[in-house]
Chain A
Amino acid sequence: MTSTTSLDERTPRTRTGPLAGIRVADFCWMGVGSVATRLLGDFGAEVIKIEDRTRVDMPRRLPIYKDGGKRSYGDEDPNPDPNRGGLFNNYCRNKLGVTINMRSPKGRALADRLIAQSSVVTENFAPGVMERWGLTYEHLNDVSPDVIYARMSGYGHSGPHQGYRSYGPIVQAVCGLSSISGLPGREPSGWGLSYMDNIAAYFNSAALLAAIYERMHTGRGTEVDVAAVEVGVSIVGPTLLDVSVNQHLTRRPDFPTGNRLEDQMAAPHGVYPCDEKDRWVAIAVFDESEWEGFVRALGHPSWSHDERFATQAARYAHQDDLDELVSTWTSQRDPHEVMSLLQYHGVRAGAVQNSQDLCERDPQLDHRGVFFELDHPVIGPALFEGVPLSFSTIAPDNWRSAPLVGEDNEYVFKGLLGMDESEFDELADEGVI
């Protein structure tokens, strides 16, 4: 875990990393876009997040506060302090923050000046918003020749549903990922998170890096169109081909298969109760040698010699019986204890870890320094999800926690754009910045 940076080091400094020197005019908000551009900032790009002072980014408002207690993210305070939001801090580390009122002509002119000094522009609004501000690819390319313009929407910028509204759970429903998750014969259990916000963000980061690499070679910019729904369909997995090649429909009584596998005879394969309330361990046994390890780990219980469990096929056929016996064994044990015992015997097993486990108990994440800490002037020290990649010659440059509203207005408008004091004050007075 890296040490907390001190608060007097918040003035933007030269960044290090493969993307140093690339400036990004970042119109992203919410999750997908912010997570995508966060990666650019982590590796040295100067990501300048553009916000509207009167309509701050939603993660600034969601009540994920240090002293917020147990409440749902929809349970907002009436007039939340936009600098207190933990989710915003999580999404916007290593970015600069400026405010521009894009509904005013002066604001739009100012945005053009910023874009002229940037070589990448990013956004994840519903189609039409950037166009309403005149920010088409053609315009951006005029203002900043060979610009990369990354557009990260739910449905993409063409097609009959491009104007549809979406967020993570909608994308998961539409792309099929929800329907393939659950027990047979009842409603889907789907996803307990906006999985598609994260995974679409990762694809958007990759799209930006690919465009940057291509421009290093050819000098040409590009417009990028990534639709989260299409990202979802592209990673739905092999079952999609079972439908398209075999016409094996998934809307049927024995699908989805819960924690059991349909196409591999894995058994036991499931999530088993442990010694405390709502603690669980996942176990997956695929073949004879793993079964032998499993039986050894359990100390050769008499039932393990039962002919119902004599072969992988027999065990697969008798999963109900097997699961009951396995549950009896796990339910007297701690999930991490089961995990390490089974893994010692070569069996795939994992404690069902919650976020406290990830931060405080997992020795592997601790060893690899996945979470790190940064200080924040309003929030104080907080943990962050680091880049989960370990490179031999490069590293993330974690230089600052998320910006306060408009924190970098002076640095960007005066310093980068050369705005004089009187214009700056005038724009501030008029509510443009």
Chain B
Amino acid sequence: MVDAMATPFGALGASSFSGLRVVEMSGDPAGELTGKLLAQLGADVVKVEPPGGSPTRAMGPFVDGHRDLNHSLTYWFYNADKRSVVLDEGDRDDRAALDALLLNADFFINTFSQLDVAANGLGYDVLREKNERLIVLSVTPFGLDGPWAEYQTSDIVGLAAGGMLFSSGYDDHSIPPIRPGGNQGYHVPASFALIGALLALIEREHTGRGQLVDVSMHDTLAVSPELANPFWFYPKVLVQRQTCRHAQPVPTQSALYETSDGRFVYFALILADPKPWASMVEWLASKGLAADLAEPEYSDLAYRQAQFDHVNGIVEVFFLLHDAATLYHEGQERGLPIGPINALEDLFEDEHLEARGFFQDVAHVDTPAAKYPTFPIRFSSIATPAERRAPDLGEHTEEVLASARARSSEDPS
């Protein structure tokens, strides 16, 4: 089992997903990541771009020395594993080509608002007349209807309106809430869009018909602030943000400890549970740094809680005397949940990710191979494809249109 998980699934043969055709017209990372996730499952994702390219092609960071449409790392991140087709909406032949693609598609991912749909005629009501099996994944900032439906968004605006931003920042509340990083405002709706896509696919197995899945970034974020919502549903209290740890109704102890190499580890010092307490004291004692913590009076919970500041001071010194990697591995070996605040460069050195073969080398046309994260869902008996580089703009226009033409001449329905 373990060995099977560590090897690529090439030997398993094609999965049911490899036969699925996806047409994607996304103008933002939420729609683009939705397409990428389906591609990572094995679907053939054709990204349809305007002649100027998807907006993400103009977003940095760029490959050093190449500031052009084919070297945006934002585009690469969100569009790996897809094919790129350029179609000009205003051109009659191109529009016919798009219609041909949609005629045989299983999914149509788009980020159109209702106003866009009114203008481009690519609404679900029109499309289902020609292809009743089509599943339309509409991924928009606020959803297709409602008073905010035409509002604009961005990562920070989405996180603000959806509630997650309110919980994130520093203990010092003169500092505004701080955006938690990595474009997660767009990634949450993409993960729900994948769920919606699969539910619609399962439903289609039962009925033979596709449907419209309306994914609102705002809705998906609003159900995701974790404890903040139940704290309102039940005691009707608001949480307050606290540095790098859970926002809570009341202030709690810091969970960041500085280490000898100038880094931080995350560790919640909880004195209530006797087992981790004993592990902690044993660990400190093994380095001769337990001070008085091994004294019998500390076995009494009330006593050690009364001494919290003293205990915490000893733990702070202990952490300051060791480097982050030592603390992580020694603490975890002793059963203590400790995590280093890894910088992104640390991930490529991580022995665990390495052993699991999580990163994969991917080369571009004129750029040497670099490590890419892979699809984080592993199946023992469903093949998922290896990572492939993002396409250059219009790289697959010819081949995709030729096969779409061939298909529609076979099947004139």
Inside 8 A of B231's CB, which chain A residues have their CB? 64, 355
Given A388-B223, A391-B196, A393-B209, does the pair A167, B229 have CB atoms closer than 8 Å? Answer: no
Docked-complex contact B235 and A64, CB < 8 angstroms: yes
Given A284-B157, A352-B177, A383-B233, does the pair A191, B168 have CB atoms closer than 8 Å? Answer: yes
B173 close to A (CB within 8 Å):
yes
Which of A159, A221, A241 is B77 in contact with, Cβ under 8 Å? A241
Among residues of B, the one whose C-beta sits closest to the C-beta of A136 is: B1
Shortest C-beta distance, B50 to chain A (Å), equals: 17
Which residues of A, 36-52, contact B by the 8 Å Cβ criterion?
39, 43
Q: Of B63, B148, B183, which is in contact with the most chain A CB atoms at under 10 Å from its CB?
A: B148
B227 close to A (CB within 8 Å):
yes
Docked-complex contact A192 and B192, CB < 8 angstroms: no
Inside 8 A of B228's CB, which chain A residues have their CB? 193, 354-355
Q: Is the interface of B mostly helix, strand, loop or mixed?
A: mixed
Docked-complex contact B177 and A271, CB < 8 angstroms: yes
B225 close to A (CB within 8 Å):
yes
Shortest C-beta distance, A47 to chain B (Å), equals: 15
Docked-complex contact A188 and B377, CB < 8 angstroms: no
Q: Of A212, A264, A349, A368, which is in contact with the most chain B CB atoms at under 10 Å from its CB?
A: A368
Among residues of B, the one whose C-beta sits closest to the C-beta of A169 is: B266
Given A87-B230, A236-B344, A280-B177, does the pair A189, B203 have CB atoms closer than 8 Å? Answer: no
Docked-complex contact A212 and B356, CB < 8 angstroms: no
B108 close to A (CB within 8 Å):
no
B300 close to A (CB within 8 Å):
no
B5 close to A (CB within 8 Å):
yes
Which of A43, A67, A245 is B199 in contact with, Cβ under 8 Å? A43
Given A173-B339, A192-B246, A284-B157, does the pair A389, B233 have CB atoms closer than 8 Å? Answer: no
Docked-complex contact B250 and A258, CB < 8 angstroms: no
A243 close to B (CB within 8 Å):
yes
Inside 8 A of A171's CB, which chain B residues have their CB? 339
Docked-complex contact A218 and B146, CB < 8 angstroms: no
B161 close to A (CB within 8 Å):
yes
Which of A192, A230, A238, A278 is B167 in contact with, Cβ under 8 Å? A192
Docked-complex contact A64 and B234, CB < 8 angstroms: yes
B112 close to A (CB within 8 Å):
no
Shortest C-beta distance, B345 to chain A (Å), equals: 5
Docked-complex contact B199 and A235, CB < 8 angstroms: no
Q: Please, could you name 25 A-B residue pairs with CB atoms under 8 Å apart, sorted by A?
A: A43-B199, A70-B250, A74-B270, A86-B230, A90-B233, A137-B380, A157-B2, A177-B181, A179-B343, A181-B180, A189-B168, A193-B247, A202-B188, A206-B191, A214-B16, A216-B202, A230-B373, A238-B183, A241-B372, A270-B176, A272-B176, A339-B161, A355-B233, A359-B229, A365-B218
Which residues of B, 198-231, contact A by the 8 Å Cβ criterion?
198-203, 205-207, 209, 211-216, 218-220, 222-231
Given A223-B379, A354-B166, does the pair A173, B340 have CB atoms closer than 8 Å? Answer: yes
Q: A210-B377, A250-B344, A286-B154 provided; 9 other pairs, C-beta below 8 A?
A: A90-B230, A191-B168, A192-B166, A354-B238, A355-B228, A365-B219, A365-B222, A368-B219, A393-B211
B96 close to A (CB within 8 Å):
no
Docked-complex contact B355 and A86, CB < 8 angstroms: no
Among residues of B, the one whose C-beta sits closest to the C-beta of A170 is: B339
Docked-complex contact B337 and A165, CB < 8 angstroms: yes
Contact with B along A244-259 (1 / 0, CB 8 A): 1110111100001011
Given A180-B181, A225-B378, A367-B145, does the pair A174, B211 have CB atoms closer than 8 Å? Answer: no
Inside 8 A of A191's CB, which chain B residues have their CB? 167-168, 180, 244
Given A86-B234, A241-B370, does the pair A212, B202 have CB atoms closer than 8 Å? Answer: yes
A2 close to B (CB within 8 Å):
no
Given A174-B340, A243-B344, does the pair A190, B218 have CB atoms closer than 8 Å? Answer: no
